[in-house]
Structure 1
Amino acid sequence: MSERDTGEVTALQAALAAEHAAVYGYGVVGGRISEARRTEARAAYDAHRARRDTLAREVRALGTEPIAASAAYALPFAVADSAAAVRLATELEERVAGVYSDLVRATTGALRREAAGALREAAVRAVRWRGGSVAFPGLAERAGAGTDPAATGAGAPATKAGSASPTPASTPARTPTA
């Protein structure tokens, strides 16, 4: 496997890990979100499941075993009510957008177009949840963080500002620094 292919697989695996975490996170969101926004949460959950499955196929097509989801993830903050569920949904989308921005950078051709589409979709969902936009979706939370895109997988501790996923349950939760 060439260096380019290795970088592509690493970025694909990071995106897959982020999608695993988003699927888990939306399970929490769905349990706390108000009835008025439940359809929106379900649509996001379904979109992340579809992206997760597509990414797993892409990783397999490159001859690598897809990263598995963690059994559970520690959330970045307590989700006790609908307002917190909306904040979590926003955080999930921002993190996913950040990882897809890495995937856009690491890939070319059709895969790059797919990654750009996923970045756009996550940014739009974040705007809907947040009620406003940011100048550079997927990059705002990384300002000055110096993150390593290879360390964003589901099995890696989420200690960097650009982490792709909620923290695996075996790792202490971090305070968001966005």
Structure 2
Amino acid sequence: MSPTSGPAQALGDALAAEYAAIWAYGVIGVHLTEAARSAARAAEAAHRSRRDALILQLSSGGGQVPADRAGYALPYPVTDRASALKLAVEIEERTAGHWRAALPHTTGADRNKALAALTDCALRATRWRRTAGVTPVTVPFPGRQA
């Protein structure tokens, strides 16, 4: 995102991240069982809800609504529980990063929504780290790229 990007571009970028998260949870869920699989379904539902709200918001404002892709490249093969949990953490961190990037470009209700989305992703990433046995389970600045 460029420094001159506006709220619509920032929210469009966040929407693209939500699309990717939804797609990734389809891959993640098949490698999990029981409580973790339920958590993956709930995470996917949360990302779908946020996606739907963004599509409505951007389209009603007359803005450009980024299209979803047919598929997304994974950063590594997801073949078992460990790699699925690793991807779940990474997806939440990446999505949080897009919402964090939207914060300086938004105000009012849009800023509140971006902050809520960032918080939601950070909490979910923490839960996935705990499930995976990763320490530390929290990061000091969620959404900040290292």
TM-score (norm 2): 0.90
Distance 1:126 1:63 in 2: 33
State whether residues 100 and 138 of structure 1, in contact with CA within 8 Å, keep that contact through their aligned partners in structure 2: yes
SS of equivalent residue, structure 1 residue 73: coil
Bigger mean CA offset, 13-22 vs 59-68: 59-68
Distance 2:35 2:58 in 1: 37
Residue 103 (structure 1) aligned with residue 108 (structure 2):
no
Residue 138 (structure 1) aligned with residue 137 (structure 2):
no
Distance 2:35 2:117 in 1: 25
Identity %: 48
Q: Give 1:61 deviation, angstroms.
A: 2.4
Partner of 2:35: 36
Q: Give 1:34 deviation, angstroms.
A: 2.5
Whose helix proportion is higher, 1 or 2? Answer: 2
Partner of 2:85: 86
Distance 2:99 2:72 in 1: 20
Q: Give 1:111 deviation, angstroms.
A: 0.8
Partner of 1:15: 14
CA RMSD of aligned residues (A): 1.4
Distance 1:105 1:56 in 2: 20
Give the letter aligned to residue 102 of structure 1: A
Partner of 1:146: none
Give the letter aligned to residue 70 of structure 1: R
Partner of 2:76: 77
TM-score (norm 1): 0.74
Give the letter aligned to residue 135 of structure 1: P
Distance 1:28 1:104 in 2: 29
Q: Give 1:66 deviation, angstroms.
A: 0.9
Gaps of 5+ in 2: 131-136
Give the letter aligned to residue 90 of structure 1: V
Distance 1:104 1:9 in 2: 12
Residue 52 (structure 1) aligned with residue 57 (structure 2):
no
Gaps of 5+ in 1: 144-178
Partner of 1:161: none
Q: Give 1:60 deviation, angstroms.
A: 1.1
Distance 1:76 1:113 in 2: 30
Q: Give 1:47 deviation, angstroms.
A: 0.1
Give the letter aligned to residue 14 of structure 1: D
Give the letter aligned to residue 19 of structure 1: E
CA deviation vs aligned residue, 1:43-84 (integer Å, no higher than 9, x gap): 000000000001111111221231111111110111000111
Residue 122 (structure 1) aligned with residue 127 (structure 2):
no
Q: Give 1:31 deviation, angstroms.
A: 1.1
Give the letter aligned to residue 39 of structure 1: S
State whether residues 33 and 83 of structure 1, in contact with CA within 8 Å, keep that contact through their aligned partners in structure 2: no
